[in-house]
Amino acid sequence: MKLFNFTAEHCMNCYKCVRSCTVKAIRFNDNRAVIDEEKCIACGQCFVACPKHAKNMDNDISIVKEKIKSGQRVVACLDSAYLGVFKEPGKFISALRKLGFYSVQEIAAGSEACISEYINFIKNNSDLNYIINSSCPSVNMFIQKYYPSLTKYIIPVVTPVEALGKAIKSENKNAYTVYIGPCMSKKALTSPLYSDVPVNAHITFVEITRMFKHSFINIDELEPSVPDVTPNIFGENYSISGDIFKELYNVIETNGYDMFKINGLEHVKNLFISMEKGTIGKSYIGISACDESCINGPFILDKTEGMFMRKQRMRFFAKKGWEVNKSQIDWSKIDLNCEYEPKPVIRKKASDEDIIKILKKMGKNSRADELDCGACGYDSCRKKAQAVYEGMSTTDMCMPYMRSKAENINGTIFFNSRNTIIVLNKHLKVLNFNPTAERIFNVEASDIVGRSIENIIPANDILRCIREEKDIIGKKVKLVDYDKVVLQNIIYIKEQNEILITMQDVTLDEKRKAEIAALKKQTAETANNVIEKQMRVAQLIASLLGETTAETKIALNKLRDVVIKEGD
């Protein structure tokens, strides 16, 4: 029964879908919400609850278009909620015909036939302590899967949309039936699991208006028309929440039943628990999964004026009806009976020891740690632990645990960081002062917290950061009074009106740089001295060599002259 699911790229792990799911049929795989088909009852509440458009539903639009295009007789089975959703129902009917639907029929006609069956069943089974009547497939699945012992109390009659589908198929077995309305659970009737149900496709109000738009159909420009099949007197109330047909009410009262009209799965769940315990007396119970029934279904158009306006419109219309009788169905030839079999969901029960182990993994080491906050979607920490045991949830889906874990990490970083970390308020009062800051400024945190930062450092840069709302990053600052040089960051956290100051001690680096600079200077001076000395030696040698050469030249010349004279 894979009706829809969630897309991984859009799922933000807010767990709102889990919180909205009465039966907790949503598991998380790789941080993505996934619907467990065996547990799901197709109520659609998670689809409505999802705030990030992560839902993804297969629709029947293309199939319906193809059937219409092929010339097949496509019949619209119209949910009564349309009378409250659309300001001019008659024009909506005309728009469906213009779209290509061969026939438009109201499901209320099916309701009329089902009510006759309800009356007969109550008369013939007045010994039953409970009688459950629901036109909602989600409610029937809810009972079959989660309260199987109550299945025997469901009136064994098909839902109104199935009844109308049977009537249409009895007239033309090749007709293609399409449910149109605000309901999700009716889509379950079109799934392969329900192949014997005569409802072929499912189109929501949202989808049908999209089809109008794509076909350039403007409802406001059309003349109103009347559906091909409408209910008789029994169907005049059109299943408004809280209303009940007079004939049915008389039978209920005559046979000694108290009457409950329950809407919304949480209320339904509480009622079922009471029924299982036997704490309520003989009762007839009419149930809808959605609050205020189908008039407030998951696929009501967003642009409608609100649930109470829709309800008021339906009440007004129910008083006058279509003023024509167009119901031509011979119900005597149609079998509306069915069987509802228990289909219990088997869940593996965790032992107390297993629960405790899982709770400890979530940081719940004692009962006092179990906050039961419900942020994860489960009513209590122990129910959450059971879900973890079943593989439906994970330990990191616990918000308080993850927050505590983050705070512990942040605390570890704050207290063990080798950098100075100081937090100020907008008045420059110290809010936090880590141990490294204590060592740098030689002051205890308890002595400086609550006092102005100006007691230890100048505030010029801090004030400029606040005034300009611009962070100062990587500025080298010399703390003369503390014989330190730091690389300073000043960050203004506007949302909290706080200033975060971090300082990296670069004093040793600066000293090394100074030592290297001094060494370079000394080396340069030494090199200059050596060069000067070498130049002086060279010049001296050159001078001495020059004098010796001259004297030698004179002596040799004299010797030559002597030799020449002696030769003469």
Segments making up each domain of the chain, as ranges:
59-333, 352-405, 419-505
Residue 236 has pLDDT above 90, yes or no: no
pLDDT at position 235 is: 44
Mean pLDDT value across residues 48-60: 71
Which positions ≥6 away from 145 have C-beta within 8 Å? 23, 39, 41, 343, 344, 345
Mean pLDDT of 16-20: 87
Closest CA to 506 of 493, 481, 490, 488: 488
**More confidently predicted of 500 and 564:** 500
The packing angle between helices 160-171 and 108-124, to 10°, is 110
What does DSSP say about strands 201-204 and 258-263: parallel, antiparallel, or unpaired?
Answer: unpaired
What's domain 419-505's superfamily in CATH? PAS domain (3.30.450.20)
Residue 36 identity: D
Mean pLDDT, rounded, of the chain: 84
pLDDT at position 404 over 60: yes
3-state SS, residue 392: coil
Q: Flag whether pLDDT at 552 surpasses 70.
A: no
Long-range contacts formed by 438-444: CB under 8 A, 24+ apart = 440/479, 440/482, 440/484, 440/486, 440/503, 440/505, 441/482, 442/482
CB 241 within 8 A of CB 318: no
SS3 labels along 398-457: CHHHHHHHHHHHHHHHHHHCCCEEEEEECCCEEEEECHHHHHHHCCCHHHHCCCEHHHCC
Report pLDDT for 57.
67
Q: What percent of the chain lies above the pLDDT cut of 90?
A: 39
Q: Which two structure tokens, joined as six digits, stand for 256?
A: 């000694």
d(C-alpha 286, C-alpha 264), whole Å: 12
Q: What is the mean pLDDT of residues 170-179?
A: 92
pLDDT surpasses 60 at 238:
no
Paired strand residues for 98 = none
- pLDDT-derived band at 1, boundaries 50, 70, 90: very low
Average pLDDT over every residue of 212-227: 94
In the chain, the percentage of residues whose pLDDT exceeds 70 is 86
Q: What is the mean pLDDT of residues 238-260?
A: 78
**Per-residue pLDDT, 177:** 94
Per-residue pLDDT at 299: 83
Q: State the pLDDT confidence band at 120, using cuts at 50, 70 and 90.
A: very high
Does residue 151 register a pLDDT over 90? yes
Q: Give the Cα separation of 27 and 240 in Å (integer).
A: 34
The pLDDT of residue 258 is above 80:
yes
Q: What is the pLDDT of residue 241?
A: 54
Give the pLDDT of residue 410. 63
- Tokens, residue 565: 């004279």
User: Which is more confident, 354 or 9?
Assistant: 354
pLDDT at 328 over 80: no
Span 505-541, pLDDT tens digits:
888 888 888 888 888 888 777 777 777 787 777 777 7
Reported confidence tier of residue 556, pLDDT bands at 50, 70, 90: low
55-57 vs 130-134, strand pairing mode: unpaired
